[in-house]
Amino acid sequence: MDLVKSRREEAVDATRAALLAGAEALFAEKGFAATSLDEVVSTARVTKGALYHHFRGGKRELFEEVFQEVDRRLAERIAKAVPADATPWQLVESGIDAYLQACTDPVVRRIMFQEGPVAMGWTRWRELDGCASRELLSLAVATLLEAGEIRPQPVGLLTRLLFTTLGEAGMSVADAEDQESARAQARDLLLALVDGLRP
């Protein structure tokens, strides 16, 4: 019985994964408005009933899940880029570098910056944007404070301000014709801003 149940669970997980992968590819290529649920189920090779079983809220809920998955992968990408023995400043530099590089990824650009606010609305987008990566930023800020590398600041407020600044920098890189140049400029400005917090 346990074996049957585990196989069933595997099939359920595989269906959900196929729907998310198919939806992500379509949203990234065509955008939220131009993607139909018929296309999603066709790409995932499942029924529309299976889609609504996993995502009762339909296309909007499906997009939110895709958005959160892209955000999770972005956070993982940033975390992996930070050396295990990084100093507090190396933590900041490598995190900024990884984030700005990720912003040149077409999927990140389309899903997180272009489609997110339109598909979910400004308020919901702000709630979900960077849920995973915001924790990394908060940790970096706390590490700098504990090491005495920056002047005492309210961690929550500083994290929020830096997160918003990083988001704007990321959008500028994502939208730039010359992304390499935009990335270098954004990196220099972000590091200068953080450097200005030194004691």
What pLDDT score does 12 carry?
A: 79
Quick check: 149 pLDDT over 80? Answer: yes
Identify the CA nearest to 135 among candidates 101, 160, 105. 160
What pLDDT score does 126 carry?
A: 87
What pTM did the predictor assign? 0.90
Quick check: 19 pLDDT over 60? Answer: yes
Per the rule left: phi > 0, alpha: psi between -120 and 50, beta: everything else, 45 is: left
What pLDDT score does 138 carry?
A: 92
Q: Could you tell me where the beta strands, DSSP code E, fall in 11-140?
A: none
Report CA dihedral (157, 196, 168, 57) to the nearest 10 degrees.
-30
Query: How far, in whole angstroms, is CA 192 from its chain's centroid?
Result: 24
Give the H/E segment covering residue 139. helix 131-146
pLDDT in tens, 177-188: 999 999 999 999
* Least confident residue range of 95-99, 129-133, 171-175, 190-194: 129-133
Quick check: 4 pLDDT over 60? Answer: no
**Alpha carbon distances (Å) from 42 to 23, 34, 51, 105, 110:** 10, 15, 11, 25, 22
Q: What percent of the chain has pLDDT over 90?
A: 86
Please give the Cα distance from 66 to 44 (Å, whole number).
Answer: 14
Domains annotated for the chain, with CATH where assigned, are 2-195 (1.10.357.10)
Cβ atoms of 19 and 50 within 8 Å: the answer is yes
Supply the DSSP symbol for 81: H
What pLDDT score does 5 carry?
A: 57
Which of the four pLDDT bands, split at 50, 70 and 90, describes residue 13?
Answer: confident
